[in-house]
Amino acid sequence: MASIRDVAKKANVAACTVSRVLNNSGYVAPETRDKIEKAIKELNYIPNELARGMFRQKAGIIAMLVPNIVHPFFSTLASYIEKELYKNGYKLMLCSTDDDIKKEKDYMETLKSNIVDGVISGVSNLKVKEYKDFNKPLVMLDCIINPKIPVVASNHKLGGELAARKFIESGCKNVIHICDTKATKVLSYQCHVSLEKILKSNNIEATAIEIKWNDFDFEGYLKLAKKVLMENERIDGVFAADMPASAFLKAAVQLNKSVPKDFCVVAYDGTYTTNSNILNITTVVQQVSIIASKAVENILALIEEGKIIESYTEVDIYLREGETSFKSIGNQSFSP
Amino acid sequence: MASIRDVAKKANVAACTVSRVLNNSGYVAPETRDKIEKAIKELNYIPNELARGMFRQKAGIIAMLVPNIVHPFFSTLASYIEKELYKNGYKLMLCSTDDDIKKEKDYMETLKSNIVDGVISGVSNLKVKEYKDFNKPLVMLDCIINPKIPVVASNHKLGGELAARKFIESGCKNVIHICDTKATKVLSYQCHVSLEKILKSNNIEATAIEIKWNDFDFEGYLKLAKKVLMENERIDGVFAADMPASAFLKAAVQLNKSVPKDFCVVAYDGTYTTNSNILNITTVVQQVSIIASKAVENILALIEEGKIIESYTEVDIYLREGETSFKSIGNQSFSP
């Protein structure tokens, strides 16, 4: 006998969306409703009272915590998550913690109430115990807590390797990478670890320059960039998240360096800011739409079925060629 | 005898924040708490039961509706509003409607419940009656509904004038301005009206090019920009919101136009995207931090005191010189 999950699978939606149609509770897009009604007919699905009652108590809202709303990576990710949730009958409550531990604690306290059905978190400043004790479905982005809290993250190790290869192909000898060496708990830090390892084993200097993770201050980045590049004219490559990468590109141009001939830039994240500049910035791209859909898939499975689909979902990553590095001339070998 | 508002005024916070301290309900930043306790002492304030009970039923959350989370103007504004609300003991629930009328209706329905104490709205697709009938405190951004619903907006008419003056100073003869001619209800549309009026009375061609208001698609903007500039080589100036302005700048450079000698760009909004480009883009700047603080001031007065501080708050606007136009050479006169 067909279950609600069979209907959901056939219609390619979440089970809770099917329930909303059955209970006529909450907005469901007309095309989605049609698909579900068609699947119900085809499968001869007969709803049972358990299924009917299953979602009556749901708030229909999922919160997402980000360190910063302006940061293009987080705003883009939030935008995709909002669309994905809405397709499945949920609304998004986006909250910014300013990457502040007290604020994060405060928001998590508020979210324990019945306002939301679950939380997707892009911040992780609290102690492991506080996340374990959180009394609602929780999915973490970029931070492993324990196997019971699903994590979705890009393959940051590969991301660092792709960037390193690009610097090698471009003939760089003295690369700086802009990171927060205190943010080692955040999985994206791994791109810096793998970048440095590969560059050094290919006899290329690789120096970490410190900034605060996910802070957002373009003028501050630009000031730092000018200072760093003026103090060391031998630097011929920079690896950084999109906004600091834009700042270093701008500083290099202002200091009359020829890009990419004398100075290469490889960004990390690949948001619209890397394409909207006059020069397209070469970038490692985090596949935000896939991260969003995996995060939503995981949170909905927890909320509706109490199920963990996957403890750790790794999303593939790729390099997008731009005008701030050289293209591969083929047959280049390098030490991994 | 001192009232809660006197204490609030002295401590430079909202009355509800004083109440939170009095009731010990909800988070108040330590420095803020100190200021309030000092003010209470200095004024010899004696709380009354009405004040004590006043905010016990509050959710402590205010929702903000935006057409798009990725759009840098809205994400920057949301960020400032979040900080301002938090200082006053409230949390922000940011919701995106994709500028879709059904979605806006759906979110407004959900927000009628007790989840939030009030709404700040940056979208206005619904009928006037629907906003008037909304059963919670509401502040609109950039759209006048009626005198009972406070509005906060930049002085867009002046914004258009400042931009027009810049094109005149830069010697432009054939300017295009990128706008949504169907979005006339939105107050920012006035900048296009005043720009066109001033340019035409100074014998400068001014043509509106149609795009959808607050859509966010850089690749789409770039495609449009290349098409428009290739079809009409006489165009020597463009006025647009930050992202389409970046697209036209990029297209002009790719078509080998010399900026600003042959082609000038004046953007509108003035977010970080106008400074993070290789060339600083000349821009009319909406003072986002002031808009945020006025919006919060208005919503909190409505929520705690049932008071309308101001039906219509107009925030000043200014032009920031960049590298995509010429600076004034002084003593230039132009027809207003």
**Which residue among A107, A246, A276 places its CB closest to the CB of B91?**
A107
State the average pLDDT over residues A1-23: 84
- Chain A within 8 Å of B33 (Cβ-Cβ)? no
Alpha carbons within 13 angstroms on the beta-carbon side of residue B334 total 24
pLDDT value at A48 more than 70: no
pLDDT value at A52 more than 50: no
- Chain A within 8 Å of B231 (Cβ-Cβ)? no
Taking an 8 Å cut-off on Cβ atoms, the answer to whether B250 and A277 are in contact is: yes
Taking an 8 Å cut-off on Cβ atoms, the answer to whether A69 and B78 are in contact is: yes
State the average pLDDT over residues A268-278: 96
All domains in chain A, ordered by first residue: 4-56 (1.10.260.40), 61-153+289-316 (3.40.50.2300), 156-286 (3.40.50.2300)
B118, B59 Cβ separation under 8 angstroms = no
**Which residue among B86, B218, B272 places its CB closest to the CB of A218?**
B272
pLDDT value at A207 more than 90: yes
State the average pLDDT over residues B173-187: 90
Rg (C-alpha) for chain B, rounded Å, is 23
pLDDT value at B138 more than 90: yes
What whole-number distance in Å separates Cα of residue B102 and Cα of residue A24? 17
**Which residue among B60, B92, B250 places its CB closest to the CB of A278?**
B250
Pairing between β-strand B282-286 and β-strand B264-269 as defined by DSSP bridges: parallel
> If DSSP codes are grouped into helix, strand and coil, which group holds residue B77?
helix
Residue with tokens 């930043």: B29
pTM: 0.81
Question: A89-93, B96-100, B229-233: which has the highest mean pLDDT?
Answer: B229-233
- Chain B within 8 Å of A220 (Cβ-Cβ)? no
A289 burial type by CB count under 10 A (0-12 exposed, 13-18 middle, 19+ buried): middle
Name B185's Cβ contacts closer than 8 Å, sequence gap at least 6.
B124, B143
What whole-number distance in Å separates Cα of residue A253 and Cα of residue A258? 7
Q: Which of B32, B58, B69 to mutate to test the interface with A (most CBs of A within 10 A)?
A: B69
Kind plus residue range of the DSSP H or E element containing A261:
none
Select the more confidently predicted residue: A296 or B25: A296
Torsion of CA A184, A187, A189, A193, to 10 degrees: 100
- Above pLDDT 90, what percent of chain A? 70
Residues in chain B: 336
The phi and psi torsions of A227 (rounded to 5 degrees) equal -60, -50
- Chain A within 8 Å of B110 (Cβ-Cβ)? yes
Residue with tokens 């010990």: B24
What is each CA distance from B143 to A1, B109, B146, B294, in whole angstroms? 54, 20, 9, 15
Which tokens go with A256? 């009359």
Taking an 8 Å cut-off on Cβ atoms, the answer to whether B250 and A276 are in contact is: yes
- Chain A within 8 Å of B169 (Cβ-Cβ)? no
Which tokens go with B277? 């480009």
Confidence of residue A182 (pLDDT cuts 50, 70, 90): confident
* Residue B120: predicted pLDDT: 97
Taking an 8 Å cut-off on Cβ atoms, the answer to whether B276 and A250 are in contact is: yes
* Residue A302: predicted pLDDT: 96
pLDDT value at B26 more than 80: no
Beta-carbon pairs below 8 A across chains A and B: 111
Contact list, A27 vs chain B (CB under 8 Å): 102, 106
pLDDT value at B47 more than 90: no
Confidence of residue A164 (pLDDT cuts 50, 70, 90): very high
A16, A55 Cβ separation under 8 angstroms = yes
Find the DSSP H helices in A55-207: 72-87, 101-111, 128-132, 156-169, 190-201
Taking an 8 Å cut-off on Cβ atoms, the answer to whether A110 and B91 are in contact is: yes
Q: CA of B9, closest CA in chain A: separation in Å?
A: 25
- What ipTM score was computed for the predicted complex, to two decimals? 0.80
* Residue A98: predicted pLDDT: 85
Name B18's Cβ contacts closer than 8 Å, sequence gap at least 6.
B4, B7, B8, B11, B36, B40
pLDDT value at A43 more than 90: no
Q: CA of B179, closest CA in chain A: separation in Å?
A: 19
What whole-number distance in Å separates Cα of residue A203 and Cα of residue B311? 66
Select the more confidently predicted residue: B54 or B98: B98
- Chain A within 8 Å of B255 (Cβ-Cβ)? no
Cis peptide before A260 (omega within 30 of 0): yes
A288, A295 Cβ separation under 8 angstroms = no
Q: Which of A94, A108, A263 to mutate to test the interface with B (most CBs of B within 10 A)?
A: A94
Strand order through the sheet with A118-121: A312-315, A151-154, A138-141, A118-121, A61-66, A91-96, B91-96, B61-66, B118-121, B138-141, B151-154, B312-315
Which residue, B285, B291, B268, B284, is CA-closest to B214? B268
Nearest C-alpha in B relative to A89? B106
Find the DSSP H helices in B150-287: 156-169, 190-201, 218-231, 242-254
Confidence of residue A49 (pLDDT cuts 50, 70, 90): very low
Which residue, B58, B54, B213, B63, is CA-closest to B139? B63
**Which residue among A61, A75, A277 places its CB closest to the CB of B75?**
A75
| Structure confidence by residue, pLDDT tens digits, B49-78 | 333 333 345 788 999 999 999 999 999 999
State the average pLDDT over residues A193-219: 90
Taking an 8 Å cut-off on Cβ atoms, the answer to whether B278 and A103 are in contact is: no
Confidence of residue A55 (pLDDT cuts 50, 70, 90): very low
pLDDT value at B332 more than 60: no
pLDDT value at A330 more than 80: no
Average pLDDT, chain B: 90
Contact list, B273 vs chain A (CB under 8 Å): 273, 276
| Structure confidence by residue, pLDDT tens digits, B249-278 | 999 999 999 999 999 999 999 999 999 999
Contact list, B65 vs chain A (CB under 8 Å): none
Confidence of residue A21 (pLDDT cuts 50, 70, 90): confident
Name B129's Cβ contacts closer than 8 Å, sequence gap at least 6.
none
Nearest C-alpha in A relative to B222? A276
Count the neighbouring beta carbons within 10 Å of the beta carbon of residue B196.
20
Contact list, B60 vs chain A (CB under 8 Å): 110
Phi-psi region of A259 (alpha: psi -120 to 50; beta: other; left: phi over 0): beta
* Residue A56: predicted pLDDT: 42
Contact list, A59 vs chain B (CB under 8 Å): 115
What whole-number distance in Å separates Cα of residue B40 and Cα of residue B212? 52
Beta strands of B77-228 (E only): which ranges?
A: 91-96, 118-121, 138-141, 151-154, 174-179, 205-210
Confidence of residue A192 (pLDDT cuts 50, 70, 90): very high
**Which residue among A94, A98, A276 places its CB closest to the CB of B273?**
A276
- Chain A within 8 Å of B226 (Cβ-Cβ)? no
Taking an 8 Å cut-off on Cβ atoms, the answer to whether A279 and B278 are in contact is: yes
Minimum mean pLDDT range among A149-153, A229-233, B8-12:
B8-12
Q: Which of A80, A91, A275 to mutate to test the interface with B (most CBs of B within 10 A)?
A: A91
Confidence of residue B334 (pLDDT cuts 50, 70, 90): low
State the average pLDDT over residues A270-290: 97
Taking an 8 Å cut-off on Cβ atoms, the answer to whether B243 and A275 are in contact is: no
- Chain A within 8 Å of B128 (Cβ-Cβ)? no
pLDDT value at B312 more than 50: yes
Which residue, B73, B122, B123, B80, is CA-closest to B101? B123
Q: What is the DSSP code string of A95-129? A: EE-TT-HHHHHHHHHHHTSTT-SEEEES---S-HH
Residue with tokens 């939380």: A119
State the average pLDDT over residues A230-256: 97
Count the neighbouring beta carbons within 10 Å of the beta carbon of residue B57.
8
Q: CA of B288, closest CA in chain A: separation in Å?
A: 13
Nearest C-alpha in A relative to B79? A69
- Chain B within 8 Å of A243 (Cβ-Cβ)? yes
What whole-number distance in Å separates Cα of residue B64 and Cα of residue A37? 34
Question: A126-130, B129-133, B235-239: which has the highest mean pLDDT?
Answer: B235-239
What whole-number distance in Å separates Cα of residue A169 and Cα of residue A44? 59
* Residue B99: predicted pLDDT: 83
Confidence of residue B215 (pLDDT cuts 50, 70, 90): low
Contact list, B272 vs chain A (CB under 8 Å): 70, 218, 243
Average pLDDT, chain A: 90
- Chain B within 8 Å of A103 (Cβ-Cβ)? yes
Q: CA of A253, closest CA in chain B: separation in Å?
A: 7
